[in-house]
Structure 1
């Protein structure tokens, strides 16, 4: 806490300097160069130490800038970011990033010719982006890339263009959507439907190129955020000595295949819709000798495999409403009842931190995704208490044993308390007869936003 006698601005500036010093010292100790704005610049590694330092630095630096800029300037900066995003959107839509060579500068005339726009507007968008460090005007009317463009130019599997296209447009319809449906936000009543006239799944079903871009981007995000490493390290997989792990809504099976390669003791069954399981053919897992198999299943219907070693729901719940999550959990209860006491139900998803548990920087990033889920799916991200409530509403015997981590890569270990009688009455009917899996992925197009 800063005393009244001290300078808040200097305290924050001091903190910024100290944190930056720690970042540089860590890079030096590892023999790594500092980042620059040159296109091929090295980036700071995503180690736990550097992530922690970066998070603290963002909090301190942003607070310093907000106080120095003052509320009016700060508010203007926030509100006017939409014009920055408009420039980024044009750059994506008109292939501006591809029009500039990777290793050299290009003239405004050449760039405008390549993207099919007049020089006046092309130059205005380029200079807007240059003011945001996305390009550099090295001489009058000559532009080159900076390191900020790396994802857009080279990392096509983590391409953020969709967020500046269909999602950006959906965000602009937020208020109109809420006015049209003030008390309900769900898969059919949300901002995405308001602006595009169809829900997310129908939109991608009707637009193959955008669907492919979206799927590729989600896979890239998963790799960037170390989703597999988190899952691997958050549970004692090596202690499973018998029974199968059921990857419910497991998509094409890439996560189960990765687990099986690391843990030779594991046998896994990947469950999803027929159409999603068909994409498993893209994986070569012949080396696993049949330890990963596939089963069509709709997770809103009763789980057909009883006696499993564990049931895994990986990045499922944040795509669905509370009512749907209750149905998903409840459909697993009959299988858990027939399994060994304490059989884990593993929920690998975002767990929003409680007040004061996360930095503002980290909290803001998670809240961004939470709002995105509201806008595009009518869904949400949840706190620990909200997960406890959903599990209880599905069946009062479902309890949380532990939570490993909070944030983007959390793992909830729940179980069915066999010593307690169920007191919950089904609020959503669950058919006792298996039904064909619905078209599209149970993971909702594997949407890990």
Structure 2
């Protein structure tokens, strides 16, 4: 996609950065949010769409200015060695740096190394590498403390799990990408992908055999966002297909106490974890059932069927099978019962979108390529698979995206 700053001069970019920075500050002040700092007590930034658009515009200009200032040679030199920085993050995660550094105050190098079970030399080198990335800080020579970026991984278990599983599994698989694709250049699915080449099993089997990693993966996937779908208009039970630990259903149940949720998943450990997450205010409205979404949907009479962040894990032919399997449930429910596909929606070719916005989605698409032999899809690609599964499928509405995910409202035309 073309960028609005593609032909901009350095001076023009600098002027745009200044104006957008002023808008950035003005928005925060009007929202009574303190300006961001690296202090561990810094406030979280707003997540409203209008602020995220401002962030994207500012980041795009900042990046273009840096690229022009560096030039191609310096950019590639830095880009190639930046991969080695991954080692510092992975060591810090595996040796618990983020939890060993105290929430308040600092810790001397010797104590950090002893608690981590690592020698002082490598402890020192790793944490100093991270400090250059603005992760941790050195309060005085040889004493280390949190800043806003490191404390986020200490306080947020889900965020830390997301970062840790990415380093521990996904980036290792990423290194096998070229070899895996050369081996099967015209096939892509869960056994013809870099993850399988690295670990010797499909990703789903990997987690079934490693329950300790499965729990971490579930936490990593637990981030969620509400969407503009009118949940308050539904009555009865929402079937959460492939719902894992049920974290989405649990949150929706808290916001919409008139609804019940039936969580289905093929992984017993995920379902067991979901049972442990239940609180008294939702316990009697959420059920867990082991079910395979490649087989005909067993639940009839639902008010809606929700499948969230599942289709992107599977190749096209598998998604067609999943969509076919949902049809019996829709046929066994009242006319007009929706199938809600809650997943990332890629921009259509030729559409004008911000470069950094698109890159975030292309990065997610590469994760699917590496780990699942699958992909993120456009609305047109979703529509093609829906029609192949059953010609009666109709996309009635594409809900506006908030953050990373969109929502397709799909119905079975039973006229």
TM-score, normalised to structure 1's length?
0.82
Q: What's the secondary structure of 1:56's corresponding residue? A: helix
Specify which of 348, 368, 375 is matched with residue 363 of structure 2. 368
Q: Does the 8 A contact of 2:392 with 2:412 survive in 1? A: yes
Distance 1:77 1:26, change over 3 A: same
Distance 1:245 1:140, change over 3 A: closer
Residue matched to 2:339: 345
2:81 matches 1:86: no
Q: What's the secondary structure of 1:330's corresponding residue? A: helix
How far off its partner does 1:294 sit? 4.4
Q: What's the secondary structure of 2:259's corresponding residue? A: coil
How far off its partner does 1:12 sit? 1.2
2:255 matches 1:262: yes
Pairs within 5 Å for 1:397-412: 397-406=392-401, 408-412=404-408
Mean Cα displacement is larger for which, 139-148 or 315-324?
139-148
How far off its partner does 1:134 sit? 1.5
Distance 1:74 1:418, change over 3 A: same
Residue matched to 1:446: none
Distance 1:109 1:185 in 2: 49
Q: Does the 8 A contact of 2:189 with 2:372 survive in 1? A: yes
Distance 1:144 1:391, change over 3 A: same
Q: Does the 8 A contact of 1:105 with 1:143 survive in 2? A: yes
Q: What's the secondary structure of 1:347's corresponding residue? A: strand
Q: What's the secondary structure of 1:399's corresponding residue? A: strand
Please give the per-residue CA displacement for 1:85-114, whole angstroms capped at 9, x wherever unaligned.
121112222233344333334333443343
Distance 2:379 2:93 in 1: 38
Specify which of 325, 328, 333 is matched with residue 322 of structure 2. 328
Distance 2:291 2:119 in 1: 53
2:291 matches 1:297: yes
Q: What's the secondary structure of 1:235's corresponding residue? A: coil
How far off its partner does 1:203 sit? 2.5
Pairs within 5 Å for 1:376-415: 376-406=371-401, 408-415=404-411
Q: Does the 8 A contact of 1:34 with 1:43 survive in 2? A: no
How far off its partner does 1:388 sit? 0.6
Distance 1:252 1:169, change over 3 A: closer
- Unmatched 5+ stretches in structure 2: none
Residue matched to 1:186: 189
How far off its partner does 1:340 sit? 4.0
Residue matched to 1:443: none
Please give the per-residue CA displacement for 1:326-362, whole angstroms capped at 9, x wherever unaligned.
0111112234345444332211111112243432212
How far off its partner does 1:172 sit? 1.2
Larger Rg: 1
Specify which of 304, 310, 318 is matched with residue 310 of structure 1. 304
Distance 1:268 1:126 in 2: 45
Distance 1:127 1:2 in 2: 35
Distance 1:90 1:255, change over 3 A: closer
